[in-house]
Amino acid sequence: MKRKFLVILFSFLFIFASGQNKKIYFTDPGELIFQFTQTNIEDNTAENGVRTSYFTNVPYYMNINCSNHFGFMPGISIKNIGIKTKNERIDSITYDRIKRRVFTSGLSMAVKCGFFDKGIWAFAGAGIDWAFHYRQKLFETSGRKNVIKNGEWMSNATPTYIPSLFFGIQTPLSFNIKATYYFNDFLNKNYKGSLGDFSKFTQSQLFTISFSVILKEMPDKYSSEIQLEQPSKREKTIEL
């Protein structure tokens, strides 16, 4: 399935990149991600929290503008996503908060429509992320003392592959907002190991909203042949 997905993706890119009347450029914004979760745990009074991350959120997009109003956005990324609970009880101990996160690498494809010369458009698409490093922090108090940290490479504490759908808007002020819905529960309900017993989690659904700022001089014209733009002195990326 993974091989078929990659073949379809790169075939799709080749077809559109080899045509005429295309404008191609690249963007690599950093992202500030707010992560919301709907978490339910059997026989537990845990509350849902909001987790934020900005470190190691590195998307890289190829923008294929077929005209001034329609285009495609294939992308690759490294993400730091996860969930946060408050007052979660484990083995008679109630923790002030628990942060569980995973580093992922991913592929995505989006369609975008708008006014590219004015720097405003909407985009929507799908992606799949591969989870390669799980880590969690258990805070016994509201401060940074008495923190239990542990993690695992190639862990099955979370699903290995995490599919998602996303929708976003790019504004003329170079401000970008994107909402992402992840299909799978964040935690693997079948996991019972050194990191905990996650079979008690009846739900750990993840939804994120990310913000970024991209300062880029938008093209005014669309050539009759492909133009691979090199970053100019005016092209910058600001990580929030």
SS3 letters across 99-165: EEEEEEEEEEEEEEEEEHHHCEEEEEEEEEEEEEEEEEEEECCCCCCCEEEEEEECCCCCCCEEEEE
Confidence of residue 21 (pLDDT cuts 50, 70, 90): low
Owner of token pair 């295309």: 22
Q: Is 50 exceeded by the pLDDT of residue 221?
A: no
For residues 136 and 104, what is the distance between their CA atoms, to the nearest angstrom? 15
Q: What is the mean pLDDT of residues 133-160?
A: 89
Amino acid making up residue 188: N
Provide the 8-state DSSP code for 97. Answer: E
Q: What is the mean pLDDT of residues 52-60?
A: 88
pLDDT tens string 149-195:
999 999 999 999 999 999 999 998 888 999 999 999 999 999 998 99
Bridge partners of 75, per DSSP, are: 61, 108
pTM metric for this prediction:
0.79
Provide the 8-state DSSP code for 189. Answer: T
Q: What is the mean pLDDT of residues 209-219?
A: 71
Give the CA count within 13 Å in the CB-facing half-sphere of 90. 18
Least Cα distance to 173 among 231, 214, 209 occurs for: 214
Question: Percent of the chain having pLDDT more than 70?
Answer: 79
Owner of token pair 């940074």: 144
As to burial, measured by CB atoms within 10 angstroms (0-12 exposed, 13-18 middle, 19+ buried), residue 161 is middle
